[in-house]
């Protein structure tokens, strides 16, 4: 399996092509956001331990807090002005249905008001932030 960074370009190119050629991707509020099935094949190589969660918290506070909020409920200071409500990471049912690979794909690719963080974050940052946001649903 290719590493996540290598696949990022393929995901980004597919999204751009889909948008340019009139894809049926809908950014309307309430529309489910599903990662491609192959994203589920990516496994988080970083154990979710105190060190990883602490590192992920730092990344989250810098890049995610403003929209997703301090407790990950999607109620950050900027959330009210967004057309698409940020995900609620405290929703156990929703989070249990998301593989780490799907979450990584979403972080890398972005959608609507959520930036594509792939060009900004290191791969370890992505996996650590996933380990951190999973603590909201426990």
**pLDDT band with cut points at 50, 70 and 90 for residue 40:** very high
Structural contact between residues 86 and 103, judged by C-beta atoms closer than 8 angstroms: no
pTM for this prediction: 0.79
Predicted confidence (pLDDT) at residue 136 exceeds the cutoff of 80: yes
pLDDT for res 126: 98
Percent of the chain with pLDDT over 90: 75
Break the chain down into helix, strand, coil percent, rounded to 5: 55, 0, 45
Instruction: Summarize pLDDT for 83-97 with one digit per residue, the tens.
Output: 999 999 999 999 999
Contacts 24+ apart (CB under 8 A), 21-27: 27/83, 27/84, 27/111, 27/112
**pLDDT band with cut points at 50, 70 and 90 for residue 3:** low
Task: Report which secondary-structure segment, H or E, holds 129.
Answer: helix 123-133
Instruction: Summarize pLDDT for 120-132 with one digit per residue, the tens.
Output: 999 999 999 999 9
* Token pair of 48 as six digits: 């979710």
Phi then psi dihedrals of residue 111, to 5 deg = -170, 135
CB proximity list for 112: less than 8 A, separation 6 or greater: 27, 82, 83, 84
Instruction: Summarize pLDDT for 7-29 with one digit per residue, the tens.
Output: 555 555 444 433 333 333 333 33
| Cα distances (Å, whole numbers) of residue 87 to 5, 45, 126 | 23, 23, 16
Q: What domains sit in the chain, N to C, each tagged with a CATH number?
A: 48-138 (1.10.760.10)
């Amino acid at each position: 399996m290719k590493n996540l960074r290598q696949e990022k370009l393929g995901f980004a190119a597919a999204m751009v092509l889909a948008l340019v050629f009139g894809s049926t991707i809908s950014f309307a509020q309430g529309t489910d956001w599903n990662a491609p099935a192959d994203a589920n094949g990516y496994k988080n190589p970083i154990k979710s331990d105190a060190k990883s969660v602490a590192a992920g918290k730092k990344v989250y506070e810098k890049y995610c807090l403003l929209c997703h909020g301090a407790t990950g409920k999607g109620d950050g200071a900027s959330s009210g002005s967004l057309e698409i409500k940020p995900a609620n990471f405290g929703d156990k049912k929703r989070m249990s249905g998301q593989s780490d690979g799907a979450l990584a794909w979403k972080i890398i690719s972005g959608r609507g008001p959520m930036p594509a963080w792939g060009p900004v974050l290191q791969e370890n940052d992505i996996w650590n932030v996933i380990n951190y946001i999973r603590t909201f649903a426990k």
